[in-house]
C-alpha cells in the first residue's frame, strides 16, 4: 500500500472493527504464516483422589488470564485496539478457545458465560464497552471523563510494552482508541491540553515487570532511531511506561500506593479539586498527514510554572 493511501485509510480502522459482526483472533500464532490453529497442549490423564461420587469440574491451572497475557498476539502493538474495539471476538489461543462479547466471556469447556474476566485482566472494564464500542456520545458526559482518563492511562501502560515492526507506527497503532476516548479528557495523543494535565504528564519508564507466575522480568527501554514524537508524551520512547502514583496517593490521603488503589472511587470524585501548578500556554504539533491522531513530524509545548532549585 502506498504511503498516501495508508495515511488516508488508517483513520477508518475503528469503524471497521467496531462495525464488524465478529473478529476472529489467531492469538496463538507467532506470525501470519502459522494459520489459525496451533498445536494444543497434550491431554493428561487425571484420577479422582477423593473417591466421592458425583460431578466434578476440571479446569486448567494457571488461570485463563495467564494464557491470555502470554499469547503471541498480546505482544503486538497493532493488535491491542483491534481486540478492544471489536464487539465480539473469537480468541483462538494456544491453550483454549475463548469467546468475548459485551455480556462477558466463555472459555472452551466452561458451562456459563463469566462476567468476571474483566477483573482477571486487571483493567477498568466497567465502562469499557460503553466507551469504546457503545454510544460514543455517552462517553462525553462529565460523569464519564474521569473513568475515561483512568481507562486511557491503563491502556497506554499495557500498550507501551508491546512491539511493532515499524517504529513510526507508535501513534497510529493506538489512534483508533484515542479517537474515542480523548475528546472527553481533552487534548490529543501528543497535545496534552489543560484538563488533567498532571495526570497525563506524570509518566515514567519501568524496567522491571513481575509476571503472574511471580518471576521478575527485565524490560528493554530505548529511544527510537528516528524522530517520532516530542519529548513530553509517552510515545517518545520504546519500552514499558507507568503513570506516577503520587496523584492516587494524594487522593487517598496516604503515601501507600497499595492502599491508594483501593480508594479509586475517592480519587475520581476529587481529582478535579487537585490544583496543578503548571499552566499550558501553548501546545501545537506538526502532523505528517491529515489524521490528527496519526504520525507527527514535530511539536512544542509552553508551560507557565514555578521553578525549584535542584541538585544532582
- Half-sphere exposure at residue 250, Cβ-oriented, CA atoms within 13 angstroms: 15
The per-residue pLDDT for 67 is 62
Contact status, residue 291 vs residue 3, Cβ threshold 8 Å: no
The per-residue pLDDT for 119 is 39
Residue 230, C-beta contacts closer than 8 angstroms, at least 6 positions apart: 190, 236, 285, 296, 298, 299, 300, 301
134 sits in which H/E element: none
Distance of CA 66 to the CA centre of its chain: 17
In whole angstroms, what is the distance from residue 248 CA to residue 267 CA? 6
The per-residue pLDDT for 22 is 93
Q: What angle do CA 83, 84, 86 make, to 5 degrees?
A: 70
In whole angstroms, what is the distance from residue 223 CA to residue 200 CA? 20
- Tens of each residue's pLDDT in the chain, 312 residues: 667 777 777 778 878 888 889 999 888 887 777 777 777 666 666 666 666 677 766 665 555 555 667 788 888 998 888 888 888 889 888 877 888 887 777 777 666 655 544 433 334 333 455 556 554 444 445 446 667 777 788 888 889 888 888 888 999 899 888 887 777 777 677 766 666 676 778 888 887 665 555 556 666 778 899 999 998 889 999 988 888 765 555 544 443 444 444 455 555 555 656 677 888 888 888 988 878 888 899 998 888 989 989 887
SS (H, E, C) 144-172: CHHHHHHHHHHHHHHHCCCECCCHHHCCH
- Report the predicted TM-score, pTM, of the whole model to 2 decimal places: 0.75
The per-residue pLDDT for 127 is 44
The per-residue pLDDT for 206 is 80
The residue written with cell numbers 472527553 in the block is 184
The per-residue pLDDT for 106 is 79
The per-residue pLDDT for 191 is 67
The per-residue pLDDT for 50 is 67
Contact status, residue 63 vs residue 20, Cβ threshold 8 Å: no
Amino acid at each position: 500500500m502506498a504511503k498516501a493511501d495508508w495515511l488516508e485509510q488508517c483513520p477508518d480502522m475503528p469503524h471497521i472493527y467496531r462495525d464488524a459482526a465478529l473478529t476472529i483472533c489467531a492469538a496463538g500464532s507467532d506470525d501470519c504464516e502459522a494459520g489459525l490453529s496451533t498445536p494444543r497442549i497434550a491431554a493428561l490423564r487425571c484420577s479422582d483422589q477423593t473417591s466421592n461420587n458425583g460431578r466434578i469440574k476440571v479446569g486448567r491451572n494457571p488461570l485463563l488470564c495467564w494464557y491470555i497475557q502470554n499469547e503471541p498476539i498480546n505482544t503486538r502493538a497493532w493488535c491491542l485496539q483491534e481486540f478492544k474495539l471489536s464487539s465480539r471476538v473469537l480468541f483462538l489461543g494456544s491453550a483454549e478457545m475463548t469467546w468475548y462479547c459485551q455480556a462477558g466471556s466463555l472459555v472452551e469447556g466452561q458451562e456459563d458465560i463469566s462476567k468476571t474476566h474483566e477483573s482477571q485482566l486487571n483493567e477498568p472494564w466497567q465502562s469499557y464497552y460503553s466507551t469504546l464500542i457503545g454510544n460514543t456520545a455517552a462517553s462525553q458526559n462529565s460523569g464519564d471523563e474521569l473513568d475515561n482518563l483512568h481507562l486511557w492511562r491503563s491502556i497506554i501502560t499495557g500498550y507501551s510494552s508491546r512491539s511493532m515492526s515499524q517504529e513510526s507506527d507508535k501513534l497510529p497503532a493506538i489512534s483508533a482508541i484515542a479517537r474515542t476516548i480523548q475528546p472527553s479528557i481533552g487534548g490529543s495523543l501528543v497535545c496534552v491540553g489543560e484538563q488533567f494535565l498532571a495526570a497525563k504528564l506524570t509518566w515514567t519508564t519501568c524496567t522491571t515487570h513481575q509476571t503472574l507466575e511471580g518471576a521478575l522480568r527485565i524490560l528493554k527501554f530505548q529511544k527510537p532511531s528516528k524522530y517520532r514524537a516530542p519529548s513530553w508524551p509517552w510515545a517518545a520512547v520504546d519500552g514499558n511506561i507507568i503513570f506516577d502514583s503520587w496523584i492516587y496517593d494524594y487522593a487517598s490521603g496516604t503515601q501507600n500506593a497499595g492502599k491508594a488503589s483501593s480508594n479509586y472511587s475517592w480519587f475520581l470524585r476529587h481529582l478535579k479539586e487537585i490544583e496543578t501548578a503548571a499552566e499550558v500556554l501553548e501546545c501545537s504539533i506538526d502532523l505528517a498527514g491529515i489524521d490528527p491522531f496519526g504520525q507527527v513530524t514535530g511539536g512544542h509545548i509552553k508551560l507557565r510554572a514555578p521553578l525549584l532549585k535542584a541538585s544532582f
